[in-house]
Every structure is written in structure tokens, then in C-alpha cells.
Amino acid sequence: MQSIPVDLARLGTMTCIVAPEARLANRETGEVKKDREGQTVFTVGVAVRQEGRRASIIEISVSGEPVGITEGVRVAVTGLVAVSWAMGDRHGMSFRADAITPAPAAAPTASAASGRKSGDA
């Protein structure tokens, strides 16, 4: 499998649409997947929207439970890589990140900061 770094600056806004869930290593037994250090691997469903384009939905795996990530929260992703995979006649792309955190709140605009509404004098 080859890891391909993803240019996060080109992705646009990212919003959590599926809260973090522990990834299963074995669905039959319910065994939870662990990384090399023994931390539980979580998946987070993220909607990615570039300016003026429709959204794409990706699942991102991350070691350790992301704190403060719930559905509807804008997120910041660190160290995102795409990994191509193939198993028999199946193939695809998966995503892994070093961290997923709540995105910093956007700074208010000048008119919102002053408490004025459009048309106020």
C-alpha cells in the first residue's frame, strides 16, 4: 500500500457528519482495531466542500478518540494521507490522519462585531 500526502489547503471546509466510532477489526467478534502502539483506531465521517463545488464524503481513520468532535462540528485535520488498497478483485482509497480536532471559530466580520445589522444607522 502506498501512502499519498493530501494537500489540506486545497480541500476547503470540512465538517463532521458521522461522530467518531471505534473501528472494528472483526465484525463477528466485535474486536476493536488497535494501532501499533495499542491505541484504538476511530473513524470519523467528514464532508469536504471546496469553494463553489458540491461536497464529497470521506471516512478518516485516526488513532485515539478525537476530543470535541460531534456531528455538525467543523473540523481541522492534521497529517492526512490517502492510501490505495486492493484485496482480490476489490480496490479503493482510504484516508488516515494524525489528528482530527475542532476547527478554530471563524473571526466575526466587522459589522457583526459592532453589533450592527444591515440598514442600521
pLDDT, tens only, 95-120: 999 999 999 876 665 555 555 555 55
In a domain, 110, yes or no: no
Q: Hey, what's the cell of 69?
A: 468532535
For the chain, how many residues are written?
A: 121
pLDDT of residue 2: 77
Tell whether the model's pLDDT for residue 75 goes beyond 80: yes
Share of the chain above pLDDT 90, in %: 67
Confidence category of residue 32, pLDDT binned at 50, 70, 90 = very high
Grid look-up 456531528 returns: 71
State pTM to two decimals.
0.81
Measured distance CA(65)–CA(32) in Å, rounded: 13
Q: How many structural domains does the chain have?
A: 1
In a domain, 112, yes or no: no
CATH of the domain at 7: 2.40.50.390
